Amino acid sequence: MNSRTDVLVIGGGATGAGVARDLALRDVEVTLVERDGLSAGTSGRSHGLLHSGARYAEADRPEARACLEESRILKEIAGVCVRDTRGLFVQLSEDDPDYFEAKRAACEEVGISTEVVDGESVRAEIPDLTDDVERAMWVPDGVVLPSRLVAANAADARDHGAEVLTRAPVTGMRRENGRVTEVDLGGEVDETIEPTYVVNAAGPYAASIAEMVDATVTLHPTKGVMVSVEYDRLEPVLNRCRDPDDGDIIVPHDDEVVLGTTSVPVDDPEEYERADWEVERSVEECAKMLPPVADAARLRTWWGVRPLYEPEEAALDERGISRGFHLLEHDDEGVDNIASIVGGKLTTYRKMAEATADLVCDRLDVDADCETATRRLPGADDPEQVDEFVAEFDGQGPTDEDLIGR
Ligand SMILES: Cc1cc2nc3c(=O)[nH]c(=O)nc-3n(C[C@H](O)[C@H](O)[C@H](O)COP(=O)(O)OP(=O)(O)OC[C@H]3O[C@@H](n4cnc5c(N)ncnc54)[C@H](O)[C@@H]3O)c2cc1C
């Protein structure tokens, strides 16, 4: 059976759901398709840190500014999808004091508020922190519940006329005269869609979607592990204040903390080795900040794959690749009604979606402004309602499994 839509968005992670919401709010007819349940990809398998931008402040100012701006917006519009926990960057005795100073200066330059506290004061607030802490810096980090965030975006898209199809994998696409003309959906949907425009928001799978129409997206996917352990006494996010490395972030939940992560290149976003050393190293390194986590009961372990974009000219190391997003059109490859959106962060998904929706509206001659920065998400004040959205879209990922439906 064939049906048509103005915009077909492929991928039900934060980016795709955000694009669908943004377009639907601009009265554009949109269909969102996800091969699994929503959040089944990287979004539902991330570390769940709502970045204030402090992590990137000295190395990537534009990304730090984007995180600062977007984390502020999400604290306004996303309600129970985020938590305003604040975060600490801790300097241990083996860490370079100049790095701490450089980060503080860069945060100030970017506009990220900081407050430096000495080791004794911070240990008075967080008694389990290692006594090896020299000093620490408060920043406005937070926690994001990706399953809720993605489901609330999809629910708003649906409430504004979008069709949201889960268990609807794109299995093939046809192009004719420089345009994508037909997209085949398998799984439970099993139909062919004729779209006017296609948005490829398939995260680490974006390259294989682009290939279906002989277009190219050069990704440098990297995997990272998260380990959730029993611990109920941490309020802020803990970040180690040193060059980004394995096991330098602890994200607090209610009765658990999530330790992570690693960054190891993979060839395939699905078939990769889940190595024990990554788990052990993450726990060991995080325990240098918060020693009780070393022996805490391990509750869940999962991996995610970053959809990092690697332009040919910038062959940087895994952690040096920009965390900024890239919106690519493929007209130079002979197909002009498809764009791919890759890279970025969960924290900046809304901005990525806005840029994508601006482009699509321009191509479709739609004159409508973005509203997503000021409109609250449905269910933002009602955890039960938003958890019903998660269930409706089969959107439960491991990152916030312990926090949904409580
Ligand atoms: C280890 C790790 C930790 C991270 N931690 C953080 C963090 O703490 N804070 C932060 O801000 N960011 C973090 N990130 C980055 C962030 O998670 C990602 O940048 C973001 O979630 C990507 O979202 P997305 O929607 O673009 O991709 P995805 O969430 O991967 O969504 C793409 C979707 O496309 C679907 N799909 C694939 N193929 C098809 C097909 N053929 N048909 C239909 N659908 C298809 C997939 O199933 C998937 O659901 C982390 C990433 C990793 C890997």
> Which tens digit of pLDDT belongs to each residue from 94-133?
999 999 999 999 999 999 999 999 999 999 999 999 999 9
Q: Determine, yes or no, domain membership for 349.
A: yes
CA 146 to ligand 1 centroid distance, Å = 10
pLDDT in the model for residue 319 = 55
Q: Determine, yes or no, domain membership for 99.
A: yes
Distance CA 125, CA 234 (A): 10
Decide which of 257, 282, 306 is a domain's last residue. Answer: 306
pLDDT in the model for residue 406 = 77
Residue with CA nearest ligand 1 atom 35: 11
Decide which of 268, 287, 306 is a domain's last residue. Answer: 306
| 296 and 229 housed in the same domain | yes
Q: Determine, yes or no, domain membership for 76.
A: no
| 125 and 265 housed in the same domain | yes
| 241 and 295 housed in the same domain | yes
Residue 314 has pLDDT above 80, yes or no: no
| 234 and 351 housed in the same domain | no
pLDDT in tens, 281-306: 999 999 999 999 999 999 999 999 99
Which of 73, 183, 205, when mutated, tests ligand 1's pocket best, judged by the most ligand atoms within 8 Å of its CB?
205
Cα torsion through 228, 133, 275, 237, rounded to 10: 40
Q: Determine, yes or no, domain membership for 32.
A: yes
Q: Determine, yes or no, domain membership for 60.
A: no
Q: Which ligand 1 atom lies nearest to the CA of residue 67?
A: 11
How many domains in the chain?
Answer: 2
Kindly indicate the confidence band of residue 2, based on its pLDDT and cuts at 50, 70 and 90.
confident
Residue 10: give the domain boundaries: 2-44+146-219+311-400
Q: What are the Cα distances from residue 250, in Å, to 49, 215, 318, 339?
A: 9, 39, 21, 35
Residue with CA nearest ligand 1 atom 26: 203
| 330 and 362 housed in the same domain | yes
| 232 and 89 housed in the same domain | yes
Among candidate residues 49, 111, 42, 33, the one with its CA nearest the CA of residue 86:
49
CATH no. for residue 166? 3.50.50.60
Q: Which ligand 1 atom lies nearest to the CA of residue 224?
A: 1
Residue 1 has pLDDT above 80, yes or no: no
Distance CA 172, CA 44 (A): 25
| 202 and 249 housed in the same domain | no
Spacing of C-alpha 220 from chain mean position: 16
| 203 and 92 housed in the same domain | no
Which of 346, 347, 349, 400, when mutated, tests ligand 1's pocket best, judged by the most ligand atoms within 8 Å of its CB?
346
Cβ–Cβ < 8 Å for 249, 240: yes
Residue 197 DSSP one-character state: E
| 315 and 396 housed in the same domain | yes
Q: Average pLDDT, whole number, for the chain?
A: 96
Average pLDDT score over residue span 15-39 = 98
Q: Determine, yes or no, domain membership for 52.
A: no
Crossing angle of helices 97-110 and 61-77, in 10° steps, is: 60
| 114 and 258 housed in the same domain | yes
| 394 and 316 housed in the same domain | yes
| 174 and 296 housed in the same domain | no
Q: Which ligand 1 atom lies nearest to the CA of residue 44?
A: 29
Decide which of 288, 306, 324 is a domain's last residue. Answer: 306
CATH no. for residue 271? 3.30.9.10
Average pLDDT score over residue span 396-405 = 96
CA 44 to ligand 1 centroid distance, Å = 7
Cβ–Cβ < 8 Å for 116, 89: no
Which of 345, 347, 351, 396, when mutated, tests ligand 1's pocket best, judged by the most ligand atoms within 8 Å of its CB?
345
